[in-house]
Amino acid sequence: MANLGTGPRLVLLCLVLVLCAGVVLPVAWWLDGAQGLRASALGGVFCFLGGGAALLVGELLRGPQQVLPHTLATMFLRTSVPLALCAAVYLRRGALADTGLAYYVLTFYLCTLMLETVFETARLQGMASAPRA
């Protein structure tokens, strides 16, 4: 996991969110029909954008001297992008907000957070086991 590049990590993030959608979409359909599907799909897209941005910025901040900036920047992006997009939808007060978009964002966010925790743990373990010069 530690030696995966950005592309494979983005693909893995997408696959995890698709698997999560396999569980969330039927529930959304059962609860709110087509509008629930739209809201849950949008929640997944919001979290993919945040997770993808975090992965891309994380690639710029690599190395043992960048651990704290890397962690803070990726945490900020992973959290703020879906939250800001969700807040924008809620400020419009449309049907997506009434459907419970925030709950779908939270569900997909937890899946994103779990995967990116695995990525980060593998990265830090790889740095710890690397020979020091």
pLDDT value for 124? 80
Lowest average pLDDT, out of 3-12, 44-53, 118-127, goes to 118-127
Q: For residue 132, what pLDDT band results from cuts at 50, 70 and 90? A: low
Tens of pLDDT, residue by residue over 19-62, are 999 999 999 999 999 999 999 999 999 999 999 999 999 889 88
Cα 122 to Cα 124: distance, rounded to the nearest angstrom = 6
**Which residues neighbour 49 within 8 Å (Cβ) at sequence distance 6 or greater?**
81, 82, 85
**Which residues neighbour 62 within 8 Å (Cβ) at sequence distance 6 or greater?**
70
Tens of pLDDT, residue by residue over 63-117, are 778 889 999 999 999 999 999 999 999 998 888 888 889 999 999 999 999 999 9
Contact assessment for residue 66 and residue 123, using Cβ atoms and an 8 Å cutoff? no
